[in-house]
Structure 1
């Protein structure tokens, strides 16, 4: 790998163009993007001395061309490993250690309403199963659940399925991934078993979103919404439904390239470019208050019905 101070934009752009052409989820779009990168390089658009500036310029061009927010040349201030996908894994591990395993808040409020925040990521299930599972098991005793994803930037589809397993009564088809490589199809289902008690599929669930909610966090909101299992409250989310892989092209630059697309079995589509549209639209800052009002009303109605 070259010295961190030796940027070599031509080498980086040539390799990025090859990767985009070979791996981007839509082959024709990948070829178009690769041609655009080479043209912009020839025009001198990437003749810059700093890795951070190169990452910003290239990302802006890529996203302006196709609108895919998962497609980036990402700058990392700290030097990143050279292996495929290792840059993101190292960053995610630091975030995991600093965020109580991705469960910064669990609180039981009056009237039996639990608030559970998952952020900043839905970490890989091999890390997250213990803290997320423990939080959901505790929340299973609540009469209603507010699931706060307003600060969640994405993460693992396996962890999405794990969370859904706690909020459903039986194994359920959540999503199908269509991968470019080998034209493969891979179904995602909620697990038939979860450790500890389930919240289950009958008590009210409200999911909070913001315009920062992204990627796997959007999938969690979208899956529950399409199944009719949760009411989404807040803002339209970021609109990133294409899973991506990463390639280190420089000690501080990583190409992140979408390599597949999600297809929901209920809607037949996904949230790419459109975001998850809330059932109860409101500013993200007001979403918790709105959801708590709805949750408390639902709990009161259920108690009244039980006494009748």
Structure 2
């Protein structure tokens, strides 16, 4: 990484171009974008006063070809650690501590319908397994489950698989990652075993989404939807299906570059650019009420119980 104490666009753009050509999930487009930012540098488009402005202008250029929302020159107000990906992990650590491990809300509604909110991230499984497993064990007794992902920004595919394991009865293929490096393929399966009781694969599940639902949170909604395991309620999600890595290019600038793409075994594609389209579209703010209404309607009247019993 260039050692920079003030804004010098040229070394930032030179390193960004190198990383795009070497790592972007689509090699031809990566080279095209590398050429684009070099040309824009030569034209003076990046002669700006602040790192924040440089990040904004370069990100607009990076997303001008295919709208990839994971592809950014991201500005951080606090200094970015030099270790690859460490800026994201540091921020996630703070969020994890402030959100009860990513499960800030668990509530039982009328009719024995549980609401489990997962936000702001699906944290790395080595952090999240204990709080998330405990919450999923509690809701396993509910007659229907509403997963609220409306404010979830993404996270770990391993944690997606962990959640799915509690909502399915057997080990199931969820997704295949196609990595650029080595042209590798990596399958993601729900686990055959989960700690504690499962909610299982039969009782109703509803997933709440909105425009802030992104990345791994979208994968959780999409996987369950494609398997026919959950009804998605709310608004179309952000449309980011490409896992990314981060490189520090300046004390306040991080290049985030997608390095792979996901392929769902049912649809044969993913939610990149389109987002996850709800089965029951409505305003995100109205999604909980609608999901609760549909959950109650799906239960046998004799099975419904009041909240708190």
Give TM-score scaled by structure 2 length: 0.96
Paired with 1:273 and 1:301, the residues of 2 have a C-alpha distance of: 41
The offset of 1:300, in angstroms, is: 3.0
**1:200-257 CA deviation, whole Å, 9 max, x = no partner?**
0000000000011000000000000000000000001000000000001111110000
Q: Secondary structure at the match of 1:201?
A: coil
Within-5 A mapping of 1:19-168: 19-168=19-168
Work out the CA distance in 2 between the residues paired with 1:154 and 1:302: 38
1:78 positional shift: 0.8
In the alignment, which residue of structure 1 is the partner of 2:296? 296
Gaps of 5+ in 1: none
* SS class of match (2:65): helix
> Relative to 1, partners in 2 of residues 1:117 and 1:266: Cα closer, same or farther, differing over 3 Å?
same
CA-atom RMSD in angstroms: 1.2
User: 1:18 aligns to what?
Assistant: 18
Contact 1:224–1:230, Cα closer than 8 Å, also in 2: yes
Say yes or no: does 1:7 pair with 2:7.
yes
CA contact 1:4–1:252 (8 Å) conserved in 2: no
In the alignment, structure 1 residue 245 sits paired with structure 2 residue 242: no
Is the 8 Å Cα contact of residues 2 and 249 (structure 2) preserved in structure 1? no
- Match of 2:307? none
Pairing of 1:210-229 with structure 2 (within 5 A): 210-229=210-229
Contact 2:137 2:198 survives alignment (8 Å)? yes
Question: Aligned to 1:176, what secondary structure does the other structure show?
Answer: strand
Task: Answer whether contact 2:70 2:242 (CA < 8 A) is retained.
Answer: yes
Question: In proportion to residue count, which structure has more helix?
Answer: 1
Cα distance per residue 1:240-287 (max 9 Å; x no partner): 000000001111110000000000000000000000000000000100
CA distance in 2, matches of 1:2, 1:84: 14
Kindly tell me: are residues 2 and 177 of structure 1, through their superposed partners in 2, closer, same or farther at Cα, counting changes over 3 Å?
closer
> In the alignment, is the contact (CA less than 8 A) between 2:85 and 2:246 conserved in 1?
yes
CA distance in 1, matches of 2:22, 2:302: 55
Alignment match, 2:265: 265
2-structure distance, mates of 1:62, 1:300: 52
TM-score by length of 1: 0.97
- The answer on whether the counterparts of 1:2 and 1:251 sit within 8 Å (CA) in structure 2 is no
Aligned to 1:205: 205
Matched, 1:284 2:301: no
Structure 1 residue 302: Cα displacement: 7.4
* Alignment partner, residue 183 of structure 1: 183
Name the SS of the counterpart of 2:257 in structure 1: strand
